[in-house]
Structure 1
């Protein structure tokens, strides 16, 4: 009787890391964050490890350990959420000189127009010298289910670009 060759155990080795830092204080914003993650974890993405954290749980080490980042926030009084602002306050100086050129994008769940929130994130990330690689997504007005598919696409496109070595 002939012995079958032993099959090697396949180990998954991720070469790139995508960090998603998103504030999700409601069921709808949690659905958006989950949609971004779902897109980033698409079955065709082979070499990207995805880590999802709430802004209050993320810190400088998480940013230093990633190859790209997606930020998510609600619009609060015409500005980003306090949780995302706290994340920036705690991480800005520790990562400033070490993450220049970091590929990123972001999405905003805005009940109004989202321009103040967009401007604030743009200002901070410009100071960090991060590189916007996907047009920001603005989910404006009353909640619509299409926001979820748009967030899923955002996650997919950023992860696919990272997987393909585009950034």
Structure 2
């Protein structure tokens, strides 16, 4: 069994539903060799990252940057995981009230530093809330888990 870790900040009902959609996609009935766990960023530890085989990161856009909770996660796991988790397959989604550009740039910088492998384009859910965001999050989770299940990443 491989382990898919979801570290996502979900401070509202809408962002919580996005996490649930990611999990629903990742836990699709046709995927049987992947276990999936969601841990909020303030609770996730370096040990959680060291145990996983893939990671999905989720954040809100806060003042043109990632959430403080996700930044705190990176601050705590960076050095303990730097050497051990190079090449870790990762995907990310951003709930952006504006355009998400600054958030994407910051995350790309950190992921490059960690040497993690982004396996799909970031999902940026921009503007006012749209029900389609949930379908997109579900697809992101399914794609990540299916790729891991098939050994593609």
Where structure 1 has 5 or more consecutive residues not aligned to the other structure, the ranges are: 1-14
Q: Secondary structure at the match of 1:101?
A: coil
How far 1:134 sits from its partner (Å)? 1.3
Specify which of 125, 128, 145 is matched with residue 111 of structure 2: 125
For 1:144, the equivalent position in structure 2 comes to: 130
Where structure 2 has 5 or more consecutive residues not aligned to the other structure, the ranges are: none
How far 1:59 sits from its partner (Å)? 1.0
The whole-number CA distance in structure 1 between the counterparts of 2:125 and 2:31 is 25
For 1:74, the equivalent position in structure 2 comes to: 60
Specify which of 31, 36, 42 is matched with residue 50 of structure 1: 36
How far 1:157 sits from its partner (Å)? 0.3
Give the superposed CA RMSD.
0.4
How far 1:135 sits from its partner (Å)? 1.1
The whole-number CA distance in structure 1 between the counterparts of 2:12 and 2:2 is 30
1:103-124 per-position Cα deviation (integer Å, ceiling 9, x unaligned): 0010000000100000000000
Query: When the two structures are aligned, how many residues end up with a matched partner?
Result: 153
- List structure 1 segments (4+ residues) > 4 angstroms apart after TM superposition: none
The whole-number CA distance in structure 1 between the counterparts of 2:112 and 2:45 is 19
Specify which of 6, 12, 33 is matched with residue 26 of structure 1: 12
Q: Normalization by structure 1: what TM-score?
A: 0.91
Q: Normalization by structure 2: what TM-score?
A: 0.99
The whole-number CA distance in structure 1 between the counterparts of 2:27 and 2:120 is 17
